[in-house]
Chains A and B, each alone.
Chain A
Amino acid sequence: MTELRVFTIADQIDEAKACRTVRFRGSLHADPGQFVMVWLPREDEFPMSVSYVGEGFGLTYKIVGEGTRSLSTMNPGEKVGIRGPYGRGFEVQGRRMLAIAGGVGMAVIAPLVDLAMEERADVDLVLGAKTESELIMKERCEMAGANVHISTDDGSSGTKGLATDIARRLLQTAEYDCVCACGPEKMIVSAFRLSEEHGLPFQASLERYIKCGIGICDSCAIDGRHVCSEGPVFSGDVLASLEDLGRRRLSPSGRIVSLD
């Protein structure tokens, strides 16, 4: 049983436009990629990836609805309920990692870079965003020791184009032991294809509508797999078996809808 715990907000900062990081007093240990359910009493509860682990842990989020908007206006000293961490996170496989992050997916990749550094692995990180102002945690990962490559859709920073374009070039020139990705599902699908072409182990974090968070209600199901308990990080051999990957998801009622 994972009990609901109450944590006090220590600080909140803007990471980018409509993207914030909230840090808490106290400690929460999680693997990179694991998530927590954040509860704002009488308002909402939603899943969030842990972007800073351990003492003073933090969550990074995009303001997408009323719940996250409400969280973004909370001040230091205010309290929220948190249950978790839940699910399976990333593993560092081997000594040379290629990490690919799209947009706010970087919030999941950043603690993975930290873990890779702890395990003395080399990391090439490709960070992609629509535009320069949406790039997050670049300095953090550079300081941690990753080789950071930037792509933006509009060319305002780094190479103009997709993160997977840079990843394709890196894979042609360097050797890696594993590829890890978090971001839009279309990006994940492309990254997965690249890793398959190079015969590399692959892991990616998926996103679905999560209700219970504990692997029973089936709301986050994708082809009989449960994102909240068996994921959100899945390995390539599981991803290869998912017909709905990049195509379909469940709505809150359980209706199958297109991912777009």
Chain B
Amino acid sequence: MNGLEVEIVGLRLRNPTILASGIFDETGRSMLEVAKAGAGAIVTKSVSMQERQGYPNPCVAEVECGLLNAMGLPNPGIAAYADEIAMGRQGGVPVIGSAVGSNEDEIAEVAASLCSAGVDAVELNLSCPHADGHGMEMGSTPEIVRNVCDIVSARIDKPVLAKLTPNTTSIASLAEAAEEGGADGVVAINTLKGMTICPELRAPVLSNRVGGLSGPAIRSVGVRSVFEIFEAVEIPIIGVGGVSTARDALEYFMAGARAVQIGTAVRSQGTAVFSEVCWGLTKFMSDNGYESISDIVGVAHDDRA
């Protein structure tokens, strides 16, 4: 058996690297390229019931150690996107559909449509920091998270993952609420709310003014979040935020994640980042006598050392 194989929320992944939502996943053909490059699974672009154009440019700004984006959840709507999912599935790795909506019923409707389109699991985007009523507002309090997870998990048979926001005082409370609502797993973290201003032109760079910060800048926030969530819930955790090397992934595994998502690193390393991280993980495991990723999960916690 390949030591990189993991099982999470009933999905068998050939390795624990997953393409994060919003990167390279507007089209099925790009998903195929990512699968070919070695990712263990793919999360789709966040999809809504109706078509969304997204925000005007600029929708990204590169900052020190990270990337600010306010794409505005552009997507053609679930009906048109179904074809892209069908194509993405030809890559032979699990495809996780990312659902957004302005209320719990809409998210449940999108989740059900994603399942009809053939996704292997659904990730609820309860944490986009820059989309008018479609993001963080749907995941800002434990009550809302519990309710959404409850309604969606009653509606669909496929595993439900709740992607949580770090823009809160206690992400562990949000994870507990997701678990209580029946989510099969949690994904942490989404981007951190940020802004950059161009002094010479006296204006925020992003057209939406506010965006989500990703990349190496947020990794320590993500690792801390996963560490706290691991102590609060039993359901599995997928770590995301600033992973570009095996070492970064190991931080997440040791904090308690069973898999990691990779997004912004595709900017600097291309899709080769997935195989590079996997290669480094294999080497670390053989150098340190680990036989599987699950042996590493959570070892940074005192009672597991």
Which residues from chain A sit less than 8 Å from chain B, CB to CB? 1-4, 6, 37, 39, 41-42, 44-46, 79-81, 83, 211-219, 221, 223-224, 226, 250-256
User: Which one of A45, A213, A256 has the greatest number of beta carbons of chain B within 10 Å?
Assistant: A45
Main secondary structure of the interface of A (DSSP, over half): loop
Chain A residues whose CB sits within 8 angstroms of the CB of B81 once the complex forms: 254
Which residue from B25, B54, B203, B270 sits with its C-beta under 8 Å from A42?
Answer: B203
Cβ B200 vs Cβ A224 within 8 A: no
- CB atoms of B62 and A254 under 8 A apart: no
Contacts of B202 in A (CB 8 A): 41
Of B26, B56, B60, B198, the residue contacting A214 (CB under 8 A) is B60
Q: Which of B53, B205, B264, B267 contacts A39 (CB 8 A)?
A: B205
Q: How many angstroms from the CA of A81 to the CA of B196 in the assembled complex?
A: 13
Is B24 located at the chain interface by the 8 A CB criterion?
Answer: yes
Query: Are A218 and B53 CB-contacts (below 8 A) given A6-B201, A212-B59?
Result: no
In the complex with contacts A6-B198, A218-B24, A211-B30 CB distance below 8 A: no
Complex CA gap A46/B56 in Å reads 10
* B270: A residues at CB distance < 8 A: 215
* Residues of B in contact, count (CB < 8 Å): 44
> Is there contact, CB below 8 Å, between A211 and B59?
yes
- Is B75 in the interface zone, CB < 8 Å from A? yes
Q: How far does the alpha carbon of A213 sit from the alpha carbon of B54 in the complex, in Å?
A: 15
Given A216-B23, A217-B26, A218-B25, A4 and B61 contact (CB-CB distance below 8 Å): yes
Q: Tell whether, in the assembled complex, residue A81 and residue B80 are in contact, meaning their CB atoms are under 8 Å apart.
A: no
Counting CB contacts under 8 A, is B22 at the interface? yes
Q: List 16 A-B contacts (CB under 8 A).
A: A37-B58, A42-B203, A45-B58, A212-B69, A216-B24, A216-B60, A216-B263, A218-B24, A218-B30, A224-B33, A226-B30, A254-B26, A254-B45, A254-B81, A255-B51, A256-B76
Q: A219-B26, A252-B54, A254-B45 are in contact. Are A1 and B60 (CB under 8 A)?
A: no
Query: Among A1, A46, A81, A217, which residue has the most Cβ atoms of chain B within 10 A?
Result: A217
Assuming the contacts A79-B200, A219-B74, A224-B32, asked whether A254 and B60 have C-beta atoms less than 8 A apart, the reply is no
> Given the complex, which residues of A lie within 8 Å of B267, measured CB to CB?
214-216
Contact present for A224 and B29 (CB under 8 Å): yes
- Determine whether B27 belongs to the interface, using a CB cutoff of 8 Å to chain A: yes
A250 and B27 contact, CB distance less than 8 A = yes
The answer to whether the Cβ of B229 comes within 8 Å of any Cβ in the partner chain is no
Contact A253 B264 (CB under 8 A): no
Instruction: Tell me whether B71 is interfacial, beta carbon within 8 Å.
Output: yes
The reply to whether B203 and A211 contact each other, CB–CB distance below 8 Å, is no
Contact between A255 and B27, CB atoms less than 8 A apart? no
Q: Which residues from B are CB-within-8-Å of A221? A: 26-27, 29-30
A101 and B258 alpha carbons, distance in the complex (Å): 53
User: Is B52's beta carbon under 8 Å from chain A?
Assistant: yes
> From residue 1 to 60 of chain B, which have CB atoms closer than 8 A to chain A?
22-27, 29-30, 32-33, 45, 51-54, 56-60
Q: Which residues of B have CB within 8 Å of A252?
A: 53-54, 74
